[in-house]
Amino acid sequence: MSDQQQIHNVESTRVEMTEVVLPQFTNALGNVFGGQIVSWIDICAAVAAQRHCRSVVVTASIDELHFIEPIKQGDVVILKGQVNAAFRTSMEIGVTVDSEDPLTGERRKAVKAYLTYVALDRHGRPHPVPGLVRENADDERRHDEATERRQLRLAQRAERIQKRT
Ligand SMILES: CC(C)(COP(=O)(O)OP(=O)(O)OC[C@H]1O[C@@H](n2cnc3c(N)ncnc32)[C@H](O)[C@@H]1OP(=O)(O)O)[C@@H](O)C(=O)NCCC(=O)NCCS
């Protein structure tokens, strides 16, 4: 589908990834390394961002992450991501991570993450992204919550910049 034909709604940005916790991803207790989960989250979110803007993107920030439940060797990890809101050159992507016991099928919520990506042009400069079409109450809620989180992130960024000067 060409860029002009692309529908810029939330649905078209959705990503689902499935991973298996192999021994090389775990610590001595058999739990997955947090950094491995972050790496999968980053990939999932980057794909969602690119489905929306169809350009090169970089991770500008990852909000605080909380690991709710340990994920064990042999578990299946399911990551689901979508663009929550598109701003001028940046987008907020939400990713949920669930673990699944492969023998019982029991699923547990493990992590919820919010990431900000910035679209870049071919010179590596921030580049405007298309608006995100919101089609239902869930889309509106995610957009409103993302907008609130953005205000906090930008206030914190301004504070950091001020401290440096
Ligand atoms: C992210 C980056 C492109 C921002 O560049 P910049 O020159 O500061 O550009 P701007 O001030 O115009 O900001 C561009 C957008 O990023 C957003 N942004 C910048 N820093 C941010 C942060 N910490 N959190 C959330 N959004 C941020 C701005 O709000 C703006 O979005 P908007 O256009 O939708 O309002 C730049 O800092 C960068 O390249 N960082 C390194 C990215 C990277 O290498 N990531 C990989 C992991 S290290």
C-beta of 87 in contact with ligand 1 (< 6 A): yes
pLDDT for 165 equals 78
| Contacts within 8 Å (CB) and 24+ apart, 135-144 | 135/9, 135/10, 135/11, 139/9, 139/10, 142/10, 142/82, 142/84, 142/85, 142/94, 143/84, 143/85
Q: Quick one: pLDDT at residue 32?
A: 96
Looking at ligand 1, which atom is closest to the CA of residue 88?
Answer: 34
Q: Is 125 in the pocket of ligand 1 (CB under 6 A)?
A: no
Task: Report the pLDDT value the prediction gives residue 47, as an integer from 0 to 100.
Answer: 98
Q: Average pLDDT for consecutive 10-residue bins of the chain (165 residues)?
A: 72 98 96 97 98 98 92 98 98 97 97 97 97 98 98 96 89
Separation CA 83–CA 50 (nearest Å): 10
Residue 7, pLDDT score:
82
pLDDT of residue 54: 97
Residue of the CA atom closest to atom 9 of ligand 1: 126
- This prediction has a pTM of 0.95
- Whether 72 is in the pocket of ligand 1, judged by its Cβ within 6 Å, is no
Closest C-alpha among 116, 37, 49, 123 to residue 78: 37
- Residue whose Cα lies nearest atom 40 of ligand 1: it is 60
Residue 61 beta carbon below 6 angstroms from any ligand 1 atom: yes
Distance 118 CA to ligand 1 centre (A): 6
Fold entry, domain 11-164: Thiol Ester Dehydrase; Chain A (3.10.129)
The distance between the two most distant Cα atoms of the chain, rounded to a whole number of Å, is: 56
> From CA 83, how far away is CA 141, in angstroms rounded?
13
According to the model, what pLDDT value does residue 153 have?
97
Cα 8 from Cα 25, distance rounded (Å): 35
Give yes or no for residue 57 CB within 6 A of ligand 1.
no
- For atom 44 of ligand 1, the residue with the nearest CA is 58
Span from the CA of 15 to the centroid of ligand 1 (angstroms): 23
